[in-house]
Amino acid sequence: MIEVHRGRGPIVLGLPHTGTDLVDGIGDKLNDRGRAMADTDWNIHRLYSGLLDGVTTVRTPVHRYVIDVNRAGDDASLYPGQNTTGLCPVTDFDGLPIYREGCEPDAQEIENRRQKWHDPYHQALSTEVSRVKKAHGCAILYDSHSIRSHIPYLFAGSLPDFNIGTNSSTSCAGAVEEMVHKICRSATGYTTVVNGRFKGGWTTRHYGQPKAGIHAIQMELAQSTYMTETPPWAYDEARADQLREVLSRILIGLEQIVISGDPL
């Protein structure tokens, strides 16, 4: 069941990777690494909660190991030639198996999962983006993510704190990208990059149609900015409160861009 909170404002918040449900007995097919669900976007829905009145949120409670709703339905790679994970991952972000031997999903099971959980998420997200665009003349889809700051299999060194993805500046108007980047650059004690290792997943690339009035931007946060990056993945109130102030300015700024009526 996709969780939709419908608001009156121009911002739609996507929450694709906060779910921890291992449905239909899939948890029984996973090994110990898989059941640990280390690649969850831990606490992201809590981090963004209450930051902007009137925001619409779309969330799936299903874990990304069941199916990753931020991947294309045909499982085309987001980053050809680089290590990544697919539509129904069989390894974690460290490149290690997450299934018990012989229990990996075959093509038919992947298709069943796509129809059961991937399609409904995007049907809900598309409905909300269209509704918001009709009400405000345009819509901004802000896709909310987080990841551990050190994952050698995916990237070298330490990830910047704010990773802004706009598919090489094509998924939103320049004013949207620049406003978010400006706030992140000015935030004391944080690092930021635009279209670095993470340029935006399938959601950003698919929905971002700025000429049609739909602007999509992905924010990939380093989890070290608001929590402990090891089990039990504890939320750090002090760090999170500091980060929430910056995130609030971002969401309010995005809303003001639309409310101002300036052309995007």
**CATH number of the domain within which 133 lies:** 3.40.630.40
Q: Do 240 and 226 touch, CB atoms closer than 8 A?
A: yes
* SS3 category, 5: strand
What is the average pLDDT across 56-76? 97
Q: Which position has the token pair 């294309």? A: 72
The model's pLDDT over 196-236, given as tens digits with 9 standing for 90+, comes to 999 999 999 999 999 999 999 999 999 999 999 999 999 99
pTM of the model: 0.97
The model's pLDDT over 147-159, given as tens digits with 9 standing for 90+, comes to 999 999 999 999 9
Residue 92, in any domain of the structure: no
Please give the tally of structural domains in the chain: 1
Structural domain range at position 174:
3-24+39-60+117-259
Q: Do 99 and 90 touch, CB atoms closer than 8 A?
A: yes
Instruction: Count the residues in the chain.
Output: 264
Judged by phi (left if over 0) then psi (alpha if -120 to 50, else beta), residue 194 lies in beta
Residue 99, in any domain of the structure: no
